[in-house]
């Protein structure tokens, strides 16, 4: 069974938006081909299993989507921001969800390429009253001279669920 998405909707009053988390399992890839089991990408050499030429391993990740509400229970999916959270990003977010300390992440999807700096994504998670009272997710994306900003608050119970999901995802993202 594929993992289900965890969604938090805060647009009933038209003020905030929605935040969604989707887990992607670790896998091997070659060009656009993916192998989640290792059945296609390994071969035996000198009695050992090694990756076939051209195949690479990728750890799991969580894809976080956030967007604002346009009206009561109507979301602006055309202007959503998607961030891929690595295992280390999950750890930073877990620290915030456990302690209430601020979390700041910056992603440049074009890093290490000719597109470096073209798109920048920022995640800020704060909890001024403590995680039992909740946290506030603020995400912005700058690209082509335009900036998208979205804000979604989470209640204390939602913080606890997200914490549990992230804790499970850390181990799964490495195939442990």
Residue range 81-104, pLDDT digits in tens? 999 999 999 999 999 999 999 999
Model pLDDT, residue 173: 95
CA dihedral for 66, 129, 97, 13, sign (positive or negative): negative
Mean of the per-residue pLDDT values for the chain? 94
* Residue 82 falls inside a structural domain: yes
* Residue 18 falls inside a structural domain: yes
Question: Per-residue pLDDT tens for 49-83?
Answer: 999 999 999 999 999 999 999 999 999 999 999 99
* Residue 158 falls inside a structural domain: yes
User: How many structural domains compose the chain?
Assistant: 1
Say if residue 158's pLDDT is above 70. Answer: yes
* Residue 53 falls inside a structural domain: no
Q: What is the CATH number of the domain that holds 96?
A: 2.30.31.10
* This prediction's pTM: 0.89
Model pLDDT, residue 13: 84
Percent of the chain with pLDDT over 90: 85
* Residue 131 falls inside a structural domain: yes
Model pLDDT, residue 2: 74
- CA-derived radius of gyration, the chain: 18
Question: Per-residue pLDDT tens for 19-54?
Answer: 999 999 999 999 999 999 989 999 999 999 999 999
Model pLDDT, residue 1: 60
Provide mean pLDDT across the span 150-171.
Answer: 97
State the DSSP code for 77.
G
Question: Per-residue pLDDT tens for 100-129?
Answer: 999 999 999 888 888 898 999 999 999 999
Model pLDDT, residue 110: 87
Q: Which residues have a Cβ under 8 Å from the Cβ of 134 and sit 6 or more positions away?
A: 127, 153, 154, 155, 156, 158, 159
Write out the residue range of the structural domain in which residue 12 sits: 6-25+60-173
Please report, in angstroms and rounded to a whole number, the separation of the first and last CA atoms in the chain. 18
Strand order through the sheet with 103-107? 103-107, 119-126, 135-143, 146-154
Q: Supply angle C-alpha 77, 78, 81, rounded to 5.
A: 70
* Residue 118 falls inside a structural domain: yes
């Amino acid at each position: 069974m594929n993992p289900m998405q965890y969604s938090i909707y805060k647009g009933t009053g038209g003020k905030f938006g929605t935040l969604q988390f989707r887990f992607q399992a670790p896998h091997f890839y070659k060009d656009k081909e993916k192998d989640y089991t290792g059945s296609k990408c390994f071969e035996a050499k000198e009695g050992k299993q090694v990756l076939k030429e051209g195949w690479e391993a990728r750890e799991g990740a969580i894809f976080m989507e956030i967007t604002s509400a346009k009206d009561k229970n109507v979301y602006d999916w055309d202007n959503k921001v998607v961030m891929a959270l690595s295992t280390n990003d999950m750890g930073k977010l877990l620290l915030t969800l456990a302690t209430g300390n601020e979390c700041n992440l910056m992603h440049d999807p074009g890093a290490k390429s000719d597109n470096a700096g073209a798109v920048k994504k920022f995640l800020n998670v704060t909890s001024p009253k403590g995680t039992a009272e909740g946290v506030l997710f603020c995400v912005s994306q700058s690209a082509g001279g335009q900036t998208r900003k979205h804000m979604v608050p989470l209640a204390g119970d939602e913080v606890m669920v997200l914490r549990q999901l992230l804790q499970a995802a850390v181990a799964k993202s490495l195939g442990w």
